[in-house]
Amino acid sequence: MSTLYPVSLTTSPEGPMCLADIPLPKLAAKYGTPLYVMDRETLAKNCRDYTQALAKFYPNSLVVFAGKANLNLGLLNILAQEHLGVDVVSGGELFTALRSKIPAQHVLFHGNNKSSSELEMAIRHGIRIMVDHEEELVQILGLAKTLEKTAQIMLRLKPEIEAHTHDYIKTGHIDSKFGLDKRDLIRLVNWIKSEPSLHLKGLHSHIGSQIFDLEPFEDLAQIMTQHMATVKAECEIELEELNLGGGIGIQYTTQDDPPSIGLYIEKLTTKLKACCAELGIAQPRLILEPGRSIVGTAGVTLYSVGAVKSIPGIKDYVFVDGGMADNPRPMMYQAQYTFSVADKPHETPSRIYTIAGKYCESGDILAKDVKLPEVNVGDTLVVFDTGAYNYSMASHYNRSAKPAMIVVENGQDRVLVRRETYEDLLRYDEE
């Protein structure tokens, strides 16, 4: 199987497409559609691709899942079983992480505008805080003193690296809203040194998302170790940790050609060790923050076909019972996906369709020019590689109820997130 598909995906000449030995149309009928389905076997494989490669090439390490990609209690508990931590970017994500089975010492808190209440929650629980700007550092110091706690912090720096990815998901360039300027590093480190309520654990940087080229990651390791060496020389501090973020891409279509996780780890850690040796600094604990590459390929979305509308000589539409409210990425990023008809995986693709959502926007198009077998009303359409950013970006647009999420393993299925009801939509309304 290509890396486009979950590990447990199977087909047979006489039956529908299956995940973990469960027919996908059966799941659609049982739980309703749209439906997010996560494959436990693929989650385990992706986690272990990281942890096993790091055990081989750089044992002093921690893999921290980028929670913004897809976060709920059940999913985090699965990742805890695979010995992953989690990074969070809001009070809601932090609260969820603290209720999960992931240890607090393996939770990292990001964000460029954390509130006082969010920071207080992090400090009380000993969560590492990624400091994004100087104003935040002042705020953390004040809260730590008031709470009589020592805040565990890392400084996020702009690496000033341009990675080849969508403009909206670049984070390492000089004018990014994220991170401190390298010119402020030594001044801030010396200030932190003088404050007993602050414990500087290390440095953090992140260059972006959905990146296929490994050279920017190697460049990042070189740049950040140089900063660590400068801190050692000028501030007399040997930093304990180096967080190099995430960002490795996955395959969404046959045109995508991402590197393997193992190769990424080997190249990155080889560069990191070489840089440390050259600069005369101790090898830090390496923290990585993969998100999409953990959950992306593990997820599929199921839709029911409600209508097929032909405009003769122009276009054939397939209308599905979801769209931009459960997957806004095609509208936001011009994201592309791979589609199939779960009921007839062995029929030859013979027609070109545009897959249109149900929402009241002309731009609610999930895909254009998709070649599929003849599609009929009632068919189950499956979209691959939707485990990252679909659920976490879902909305209530047009007052839609959010889909359920389930996980499948060894012929069994269970709910991770219940489907919302119309009553749920009214829960916080006032008459």
**Active site amino acids:** 360
φ/ψ of 190, rounded to 5, equals -65, -35
Two structure tokens written together for 236: 């007399």
User: What CA–CA distance (Å, rounded) separates 112 from 114?
Assistant: 6
**Pairing between strand 299-311 and 22-23?**
unpaired
**Dihedral, CA atoms, 20, 26, 27, 32, nearest 10 degrees?**
170
Cis peptide before 34 (omega within 30 of 0): yes
Cβ pair 390, 36 in contact under 8 A: yes
Cβ pair 78, 65 in contact under 8 A: no
**Pairing between strand 107-109 and 35-39?**
unpaired
Which residues, at least 6 apart from 407, have a Cβ–Cβ distance to it below 8 Å? 37, 38, 39, 40, 74, 75, 78, 413, 414, 416
φ/ψ of 229, rounded to 5, equals -65, -40
Count other Cβ atoms within 10 Å, centred on residue 414. Answer: 10
